[in-house]
Structure 1
Amino acid sequence: MHTAVKQKKGLIKVKQFVTDSEGQKVAAIIEMEELKRLEELIEDLADIKAIEDRENESGEDYEAYSKKRKSKLSV
């Protein structure tokens, strides 16, 4: 399972662009609310990536893990 983010024009709500002397966009001004939304989106994507990275790791049955853990605590 791979997650892809589709890039659409206008995905980020830019309040104003900063341009250089040639008229090329070099920076963007966004509102704080938009910044917070983007930070949350990036955090969500990082979580999804971490899950995908661990997807192929071998798992262990909870009951077996629990018994092993309890036996280590009893010693």
Structure 2
Amino acid sequence: MESVVRVLPRDNFTLELWFDTGDHRLFDMTPYLDKGVFTRLKNLAEFKRAYVGFDTVCWPDNLDLAPETLFDRSVPLGEELPL
């Protein structure tokens, strides 16, 4: 399983991710922002509080995404989805 080693939250609600495999990928969070606990991440300041913890991306108050979701549903950097 891939582990996240670095995250950079962008202004357009995407996460730039680096994995322990050497992969550098882009994950679009917008489909998640209307779902359950993730709605609070619609606040850009809150979204930008993302950090790496437990091999994945986390936010304060025990919010996280599984690293396999981040890897499987992201695209290699340079193949970004149209905004």
* Superposition TM-score tier, normalisation by shorter sequence: under 0.3
TM score, norm. by length of structure 2: 0.21
Question: Relative to total residues, which structure has the larger strand share, 1 or 2?
Answer: 2
Greater RCO (CA < 8 Å, at least 6 residues apart)? 2
Question: Relative to total residues, which structure has the larger helix share, 1 or 2?
Answer: 1
